[in-house]
Structure 1
Amino acid sequence: MTTLLFQTKTTERMGIVVQNNTIKEIMVDRPDNNLSAGTILIGKVRNIEEGLKAAFIDLGLEKPGFLPENEYPLKDKAHFNSDLSEGARTIVQVTKEAYQDKGPKLTANITITGKGLIYLPFGDYVAFSKKIENEAREKYQPIFRENLKGTEGVIIRTHAEKMTVDDLLKELDYLRMKWQDIVESSKATKKIKVIHQPKKSPEQLINRYLSTDIEHVYIDDPQSANVLREMHPNLRDNIIFETEIEKLLPISIDGLIDQILTRRITVDKGVRLFFDQTEAMHIIDIDSSQYHSNKDKKSMVRSVNEIAAYAIADEIRKRNLAGIIIIDFITMRHPKDRKHIIDCLKDAFISDPTRTEIYGFTKLGLLEMSRKRESNSMLELFGEASRNHEMKKNNTSYGYSLERYLRQLQVRNVEAIAIKIHPEVAKTFKDNVIDVLKSSIYVDLYWEVTDQVDGFEIIREGSTNLVNDWLSENDRENIDKVL
């Protein structure tokens, strides 16, 4: 069973997936991350690269977007070059977010996702989720062929089997109208502009898990809860308004972030996992030195690797690792044991909505796999490398962490707090958070800006009198009242 939890009142909006009391996935929306996967916008052609068979599209960012020729609806090369001449405007959609020194990857084959359907204005085909049986395919194929117009196409999602044909056709009309609104919006401006941006939390995350058994959906805003009930009537009784989302989690959000940034973790029975990252790939190592068992060596190795396989799958999903992933399992000589571990990994990833490929073991005994990159990993979002090459929370994350802490103080009826804060954390807080907090919390915040602290450091918190007494005893020249 799946539980979805949404913290939407904070500036950094967060959606969390919990299955079997284990956090499986995190989806984060930040005001400074405005070109996430799925975003549709008007771009301007910067140049065509004949050798790459691609166009570079100006999106108003430092790095242009990359639009391959095979992602353009008109497959004729002449159309690609003429339609996308330098300076031409075009509607594009982000398929992969900007990564390292690369700009976003784009497509002009637009997709608009609904509950049961994915609408493709230029698809010109009917396709199905792999989980839909042949009998259902034979039922839906003629219905949608009859109702599609021109170049339209549609992908029928697993959740469609829980909907009536009438509901699916109504959704097709709704998605078609949504596309027409996007086209009209594009005609109304000549500037580079975002014209459709689905919210990761809760919109995209709920859509990712509609095909699973969703037991509960918790959200911290009553109005948003009502909107979700209208959008998903079949989940109406499962959608619950809850002010304190964190108390429903097995770990606090900031504890979860620290856990994600940790290179070494210990899982069941003392098995330890080490996560490293290079420019080209992620590397995961298994250490069994703390594992104790009375089994023979072969059985012990099989048991350790099995524990590691399921734990690694959880961590890959939670950290949103993507691209090439190499896993160094404890050496197994017998092909049967290797196959068992491959089967364990496949089983562990079966509920992962992101496409994953398990390729098998190399001659050196390393397991090769890959996972589709759709958005940045949680390591890139939350962390940065420290002096000892371990990951630590970055200044942007500390800014949003401070907001969460202040909201917790409000719940505890704490009246005032004084802190020391790093200049970059203070900048994030001022640029993205402070205006929202001024109208929603009533905690007095005093800070001293200094580069002598990582993130922020609490000096005093409690009643207004307690903090004022401390302020009166100290030099207030460098201390500002922020809230």
Structure 2
Amino acid sequence: MTLVINKKNDKTHAALLENGKLIEIYFPDDEESVAGSIFVGRIEKFVPALEAAFVTLSNNENGFLRLKDIRPEYLESFGLKKLQEGQKVLVQIKKEGGQTKGPQVTTNISLPGRYVVLMPFSRSIGVSRKIQDSEDRNRLKELGLKLREKYSCGFIIRTAAAEATEQHIYEESELLIAKWSELVKEFKKAKKVKLLYKESDSDEFLLREFLKQGVDEVVTNSPTYKELIRNYSKNIRIRVIDGDAFEELGINEELKRVLNRHIPLPSGGEIVIDKTEAMVVIDVNSGHFTTTSDHEELSEQINAEAAVEIARILRLRNLGGIIIIDFIDMRSEKSRNKIIEIMKKEVLKDRNRVEIYGFTQLGLLEMTRKRTSKSLDERLTTICPVCNGKGTIPSAELVIQQLFNTLQKKPKDVSEVIIKLHPHFKDKITKEEIKKIAKVNVHVHFTHVNPSNFEVTWKK
């Protein structure tokens, strides 16, 4: 894999390429309340019907704190029996807010390192599911138990720990414990709501999360990263280039392609992606792929190719929630199982948790993907000012009928009318047709910017 680090306008962007293909992207967030940030908040109000409380954060947002996310260990640690309205509280952003929702927060705080994640209010020990080797899993589980005994905290052992020495893991754990102690001191001293901890725009975060196992080359347009990378690994090739690294490697062009609704497959098939607030629906079409006359063989080939691409698109665009995939119909249980196995293998590359539930009675593949931060769609696109997010506009026939209705309401004592229409209408209506309705001199200009409506100006 290749890690591309692109410095532009004092901001650092990063991308992961696998065999030259874009699989993951990182953009720094301009907003304060990103996933993982830790705040001193204040309980604004408990809402029993929602089994939750609203928490005021330092950016004037109201965080949503589920009562089940108030850990008993948290209360015990600060000598509390329960939380009350008006009380300050230490919370972490669990999931970023959307256009209509505030961020979801929790007291189940975690501090991530390269090898381990510290969980101060937990006693559980977990090992990354991406570590498949049973000997590695057992060894790291034992190490996790030793860490819990030493620090009286829970830990998650991350994938990178499989390649690390025990000494490195212990050293990192010490650093995380020290960082946590400082955060607790700051929280106890705090009189007002404020941000205590944010790391997702730091070089440390970028290298820790992206300089992962399998990365053998780094391409960057910033020489300053050379020394930083050497601190993480001595064996990685580093190539420094001039100009925009994303433009040079075709990453900007690929980002435009993957944000399309229709995404072509190499064979000639395509996947069609539709996104709602809580669900992603994906349709797989055969398109022009007809190299075999056997339906089952054709379906399996296209579906296998689509499964790999869908897993890549989900993590690249950071799509989450319920995911329903309508693969091309497969009659054989063996074929369906093969597609599930491909999906399971591909989602192991995902840093977010993915659950695959199998095919429904209607032949749809059900799965879920946990998402804590904004999707690429939310970061790089905005609602269309013409269709207002519907994805459709009124038909030409409807707009023309509305124009005729307007012209029939002609004011008195006018001798001409100036009409502005979108260029889309050039071959759909003539000046003569308009004149029959208006019954005055007509001037038509195809310069209107919006195909959903028109502009009419009467002249005396």
Q: TM-score range by the shorter chain?
A: 0.7 to 0.9
RMSD (Å), alpha carbons: 2.9
Report if the CA contact (8 A) 1:4-1:218 is conserved: yes
What one-letter code is carried by the residue in structure 2 that aligns with 1:367?
A: L
What secondary structure is seen at the aligned counterpart in 2 of 1:268? coil
Report if the CA contact (8 A) 1:13-1:201 is conserved: no
What's the counterpart of residue 167 of structure 1? 168
What one-letter code is carried by the residue in structure 1 that aligns with 2:227?
A: N
Matched, 1:147 2:137: no
What one-letter code is carried by the residue in structure 2 that aligns with 1:140?
A: L
Question: Which one is further off, 241-250 or 292-301?
Answer: 241-250
Matched, 1:268 2:282: no
What's the counterpart of residue 193 of structure 1? 194
Q: CA deviation at 1:128?
A: 2.1
Question: Which one is further off, 324-333 or 131-140?
Answer: 131-140
What one-letter code is carried by the residue in structure 2 that aligns with 1:144?
A: L
Report if the CA contact (8 A) 1:209-1:353 is conserved: no
Closer/same/farther in 2, CA of residues 320 and 338 from structure 1, 3 Å limit:
same
Closer/same/farther in 2, CA of residues 348 and 200 from structure 1, 3 Å limit:
farther
Q: Which among 133, 136, 140 is matched to residue 139 of structure 2?
A: 136
Q: What is the alpha-carbon distance in structure 2 between the residues aligned to residue 364 and residue 235 of structure 1?
A: 52
Q: Which among 287, 301, 304 is matched to residue 302 of structure 2?
A: 304
What secondary structure is seen at the aligned counterpart in 1 of 2:27? strand
Q: CA deviation at 1:70?
A: 2.5
What secondary structure is seen at the aligned counterpart in 1 of 2:72? coil
Question: Which one is further off, 20-29 or 121-130?
Answer: 121-130
Question: Which one is further off, 359-368 or 211-220?
Answer: 211-220
Q: What is the alpha-carbon distance in structure 2 between the residues aligned to residue 12 and residue 257 of structure 1?
A: 18
Q: What is the alpha-carbon distance in structure 2 between the residues aligned to residue 181 and residue 220 of structure 1?
A: 35
Q: What is the alpha-carbon distance in structure 2 between the residues aligned to residue 345 and residue 249 of structure 1?
A: 31
What's the counterpart of residue 59 of structure 1? 57
Closer/same/farther in 2, CA of residues 213 and 249 from structure 1, 3 Å limit:
farther
Report if the CA contact (8 A) 2:144-2:155 is conserved: no
Matched, 1:378 2:376: yes
Q: Which among 368, 371, 374 is matched to residue 366 of structure 2?
A: 368
Report if the CA contact (8 A) 1:17-1:23 is conserved: yes
Q: What is the alpha-carbon distance in structure 2 between the residues aligned to residue 353 and residue 195 of structure 1?
A: 25
Report if the CA contact (8 A) 1:47-1:57 is conserved: yes
Report if the CA contact (8 A) 2:74-2:121 is conserved: no
Residue by residue, what CA displacement relative to the aligned partner does 1:119-154 show, whole Å, maximum 9, x if unpaired? 1222223332232634414641453244214xx222
Q: What is the alpha-carbon distance in structure 2 between the residues aligned to residue 337 and residue 361 of structure 1?
A: 12
Closer/same/farther in 2, CA of residues 247 and 81 from structure 1, 3 Å limit:
closer
Q: CA deviation at 1:302?
A: 1.4
What's the counterpart of residue 5 of structure 2? 6
What's the counterpart of residue 220 of structure 1? 221
Alignment of 1:26-65 (within 5 A): 26-31=25-30, 33-61=31-59, 63-65=61-63
What secondary structure is seen at the aligned counterpart in 1 of 2:218? strand
Closer/same/farther in 2, CA of residues 239 and 88 from structure 1, 3 Å limit:
farther
Q: What is the alpha-carbon distance in structure 1 between the residues aligned to residue 82 and residue 239 of structure 2?
A: 49
Give identity over the alignment, percent.
31
What secondary structure is seen at the aligned counterpart in 1 of 2:36? coil
Report if the CA contact (8 A) 1:218-1:245 is conserved: no
What one-letter code is carried by the residue in structure 2 that aligns with 1:123?
A: S
Gaps of 5+ in 1: 392-451, 455-483
Q: CA deviation at 1:240?
A: 4.7
Closer/same/farther in 2, CA of residues 57 and 81 from structure 1, 3 Å limit:
farther
Report if the CA contact (8 A) 1:219-1:242 is conserved: yes
Alignment of 1:11-410 (within 5 A): 11-31=10-30, 33-61=31-59, 63-74=61-72, 83-130=82-129, 131=131, 133=134, 134-137=137-140, 139-149=142-152, 152-200=153-201, 202-209=203-210, 212-230=213-231, 232=232, 234-235=233-234, 237-246=236-245, 250-253=249-252, 255-386=253-384, 387=386
Gaps of 5+ in 2: 392-447, 451-460
Report if the CA contact (8 A) 1:72-1:80 is conserved: no
What secondary structure is seen at the aligned counterpart in 2 of 1:226? helix
What secondary structure is seen at the aligned counterpart in 2 of 1:67? strand
What one-letter code is carried by the residue in structure 1 that aligns with 2:56?
A: D
Closer/same/farther in 2, CA of residues 329 and 64 from structure 1, 3 Å limit:
same
Report if the CA contact (8 A) 2:127-2:141 is conserved: no
Q: What is the alpha-carbon distance in structure 2 between the residues aligned to residue 20 and residue 147 of structure 1?
A: 42
What secondary structure is seen at the aligned counterpart in 2 of 1:169? helix
Q: What is the alpha-carbon distance in structure 2 between the residues aligned to residue 53 and residue 248 of structure 1?
A: 48
Q: What is the alpha-carbon distance in structure 2 between the residues aligned to residue 239 and residue 35 of structure 1?
A: 33
What secondary structure is seen at the aligned counterpart in 1 of 2:352? coil
What secondary structure is seen at the aligned counterpart in 1 of 2:349? coil
Report if the CA contact (8 A) 2:73-2:121 is conserved: no
Q: What is the alpha-carbon distance in structure 1 between the residues aligned to residue 349 and residue 74 of structure 2?
A: 38
Report if the CA contact (8 A) 1:8-1:220 is conserved: yes
What secondary structure is seen at the aligned counterpart in 2 of 1:275? strand
Q: What is the alpha-carbon distance in structure 2 between the residues aligned to residue 146 and residue 355 of structure 1?
A: 27
Report if the CA contact (8 A) 2:39-2:58 is conserved: no
TM-score (norm 1): 0.73
Q: What is the alpha-carbon distance in structure 2 between the residues aligned to residue 86 and residue 304 of structure 1?
A: 56
Q: CA deviation at 1:81?
A: 8.6
Closer/same/farther in 2, CA of residues 310 and 301 from structure 1, 3 Å limit:
same
Q: CA deviation at 1:82?
A: 5.2
Residue by residue, what CA displacement relative to the aligned partner does 1:83-122 show, whole Å, maximum 9, x if unpaired? 4211211111111111231111111121111111111222
TM-score (norm 2): 0.76
What secondary structure is seen at the aligned counterpart in 1 of 2:117? strand
Report if the CA contact (8 A) 2:22-2:251 is conserved: no
What secondary structure is seen at the aligned counterpart in 2 of 1:317? helix
Residue by residue, what CA displacement relative to the aligned partner does 1:373-395 show, whole Å, maximum 9, x if unpaired? 1111111111123335588xxxx
- Matched pairs, number: 388
What one-letter code is carried by the residue in structure 2 that aligns with 1:175?
A: L
Q: What is the alpha-carbon distance in structure 1 between the residues aligned to residue 329 and residue 379 of structure 2?
A: 34
Q: What is the alpha-carbon distance in structure 1 between the residues aligned to residue 172 and residue 83 of structure 2?
A: 32
Q: State the structure with more CA Rg.
A: 2
Question: Which one is further off, 46-55 or 16-25?
Answer: 46-55
